[in-house]
A and B are shown apart, each in its own frame.
Chain A
Amino acid sequence: MANFIVTRILQSAAVMFFVALICFCLFRYVGDPIVNMVGQETTIEDMEALRQSLGLDKPVLVQFAHFIAGALQGEFGISYRLQRPVSELIAERLPATLELVFVSAIIALTLGISGGLLTGIKRNAWYSRLVLALSLVGVSLPTFVVGILLIYLFAVTLNWLPSFGRGQVVDIGWWSTGLLTVSGWKAIILPAVTLALYQTTLILRIVRAEMLEVRRTDFIKFAWARGLAPRSVYFNHALRNTLIPVITVTGLQIGSLIAFSIITETVFQWPGMGSLFIHAVQFADVPVMAAYLVLVALFFVLINLIVDLLYFAVDPRLRMSAGH
């Protein structure tokens, strides 16, 4: 097991190094960073001075080492557009995105797994068919369309929930949270539901498919033959054996929540990293783009690592074979 974990960590490090390399090339070779940083009336001497003070006149390898060292400390330079350190901007925006993703993940997991179990167990009931049909519609609805429809219904027509922003936030140290105020909770409902919908449908479908698959196996038939209670058969025997693919898909889906949060944040003007990134793309603000890329890659790598470790927790066979 230790061997497996070390290999995985090395692989993750390799992926991160690769991403950092891309970001560095982006930063170094897409346009001249100095020209992007200074105003129009800066003299050539001043630009040279800045170039030297930033170490951009050194050999490329040294620059890359600097970039990595900076990235490890969370330093990605100064935003071209906002003229502020990228680390500061990210730190401001990070809590909003993470809270949104957290709430959506809870929604997607709860609804997805329970819906999948329901439709998997009662596969021919009318409500199972209804849920399945709705899930196809859910996959076909682009996230931003869902957002617009929800805004139109709940914010414009019914006027129940706010359509933009985070509501009132409370600062705890550097972390500003909207989860401690009523207006914060009201503000997070629409974006979180929007973000969770697509993920919910995918998780629901995979749980259902796995349940249908596992129900045909001999050990489930044997469990029925032993006269066990349905609850015990479904939850202790069937559900446990569906967990591996479910964890894989769920892990990947939580990763993509981060990506889809870009869209949700734009629709709901949520002040998170996604909207920061989309503005960076629109204005070719390379340092912010690079920092976002590295952070998202880190997030993905961490999730994949956790998913791999979870396999050991749910599958005793893996523990056995790794122990020998």
Chain B
Amino acid sequence: MLMKPETEVGSHRHLLTSVRRVLDSDVAHSFFASPATVLAALVTLLFVFMAVFAPVLTSYTPFNPSTLDLMDSFIPPVWDANGDPSHLLGTDDQGRDVLAAIMYGTRISLIVGLCSVLLSLLIGVPLGIVSGYFGGWIDSVVMRIADIQLTIPPILIALMIDGVTRTVLAGNLHETAAIPVLILSIGIASWPQYARVVRSGTLVERNKDYIAAAHMAQSPPYRIMIGHILPNVIGPTLVIATIGVAVAIIIEATLSFLGVGVPPTSPSLGTLIRIGNDYVFSGEWWISLFPCLALVMLVLAVNLIGDWLRDTFNPKLR
């Protein structure tokens, strides 16, 4: 107990030095040495910025029907002869500004992507630590379920959960609850990979000396798991979580495109592509293609960052 204040001061100092070390580290150097990663980080930041400040960046309110004018519908992008400078990327069938719709759509895509990965982590990480730490029947039950779930593509599981919830929630309820339901479906569909990584990390950490020391100090299991094992196994998990965000955004977009995700009243990028898809044949390509482009750029950027993180923090690949 007497030692405590000292260790706290020590940890502050440790934090400061580690911040300095990060800025001057191999990691920072490898980040700036990889132009693709820097570009990807910039693109991601741009999208996050667009999503957060959408109401400031555009005066259009694309999902408030009373502000829409059907006379403005089907205006092509600004570089087309019939374009209108006030609608940079043109307008859709209801006169919505495509650029503004993409900003608000990115917002919903990002929210669903981040929240569902968070949910997967909240399910997967505790299950992984507990099954790795205790082993025995808990471990076999959890890992058996994870194995079975891993053989089925997450998109199918998300579709099933989404379908069942729709059936249970009658009438208009599932339209208002669409976003939480989506987060729930995608979150439940993708926990096994996090549980697996955390479990294998826990199996390694469990046998180290500091855990033995904690045991001897009579630390209760929950404290060992949260205080000692978790900080040591969470790193690799967060790295795959980055790629997980990209996957979650794709799943969300796909479900919305199929018409079982976010409703058209507050569309995500996938819903926008679905709306625009009806007009591809009649030549109004911009309604669908720009949201497609935004989605692909966002996902590609997040994937590149994830790949870089994985390569940098996985010593095996170096």
Contacts and interface: CB of A to CB of B under 8 A. Distances in A.
B280 A30 contact: no
A82 interface: no
A263 B164 CA distance: 18
Given A163-B281, A263-B254, A141 B167 contact: no
B303 interface: yes
Query: In this complex, which of A140, A259, A263 has the most chain B Cβ atoms within 10 angstroms of its Cβ?
Result: A140
B246 A300 contact: no
Contacts of B34: none
Interface range on chain A (Cβ under 8 Å from partner): 35 or more
Contacts, number: 98
Interface string A126-143: 000000000011011111
Nearest to B252: A142
Given A260-B155, A266-B258, A284-B167, A293 B296 contact: no
Nearest 5 A-B pairs (CB), nearest first? A281-B163, A259-B156, A140-B300, A256-B153, A284-B167
| Interface SS, B side | helix
Interface string A141-185: 111110011011000100000010000000000000000000000
A187 interface: no
A262 B250 CA distance: 15
Nearest to B247: A139
Contacts of A144: 253-254, 257-258, 273
B259 A148 contact: no
Contacts of B300: 136-137, 140
A289 interface: yes
B198 interface: no
B285 interface: yes
Nearest to A289: B163
29 contacts: A30-B168, A136-B303, A136-B304, A142-B250, A142-B295, A144-B253, A144-B257, A144-B273, A145-B273, A145-B295, A145-B296, A148-B288, A148-B289, A151-B280, A163-B281, A255-B151, A256-B156, A259-B155, A260-B153, A262-B156, A262-B258, A263-B257, A263-B258, A281-B163, A281-B260, A282-B166, A289-B163, A296-B156, A300-B152
A70 interface: no
Most B C-beta atoms less than 10 A away, residue of A148, A255, A260: A148
Contact of B159 (A26, A140, A281): A281
Contacts of A136: 300, 303-304, 307
Interface string A236-279: 00000000000000001001100110110011000000000010
A11 to B, nearest CB: 10
A13 to B, nearest CB: 13
Contacts of A30: 164, 167-168
Contacts of B273: 144-145, 148
Contacts of A140: 246, 296, 299-300, 303
Nearest to A303: B151
Interface string B265-305: 00000000100010011010100110010011001100110
B148 interface: yes
A296 B155 CA distance: 13
B162 interface: yes
Interface of A: 15, 26, 30-31, 136-137, 139-145, 148-149, 151-152, 156, 163, 252, 255-256, 259-260, 262-263, 266-267, 278, 280-282, 284, 286, 289, 293, 296, 300, 304
A232 to B, nearest CB: 30
Given A140-B300, A263-B257, A280-B163, 17 more contacts: A26-B164, A30-B168, A136-B303, A136-B304, A142-B257, A148-B277, A156-B283, A252-B151, A255-B151, A256-B156, A259-B152, A259-B155, A263-B258, A266-B257, A289-B160, A293-B160, A296-B156
Nearest to B277: A148
A143 B155 CA distance: 12
Contact of B258 (A255, A278, A296): A278
B318 to A, nearest CB: 14
B257 to A, nearest CB: 5
A161 B307 CA distance: 36
A145 B249 CA distance: 13
Contacts of A148: 273, 277, 280, 288-289, 292
A252 B260 CA distance: 25
A262 B246 contact: no
Contacts of B296: 140-142, 145
Contacts of B258: 144, 262-263, 266, 278
A293 B159 CA distance: 11
A14 B296 CA distance: 40
A149 B273 CA distance: 11
A129 to B, nearest CB: 12
Contact of B254 (A143, A280, A293): A143
B251 to A, nearest CB: 9
Contacts of B299: 140, 142
Nearest to A257: B153
A281 B289 CA distance: 27
B152 A282 contact: no
Contacts of A151: 280
A142 B280 contact: no
Interface string B120-155: 000000000000000000000000000010011101
A31 B167 contact: yes
B281 A156 contact: yes
B152 A286 contact: no
A281 B162 contact: yes
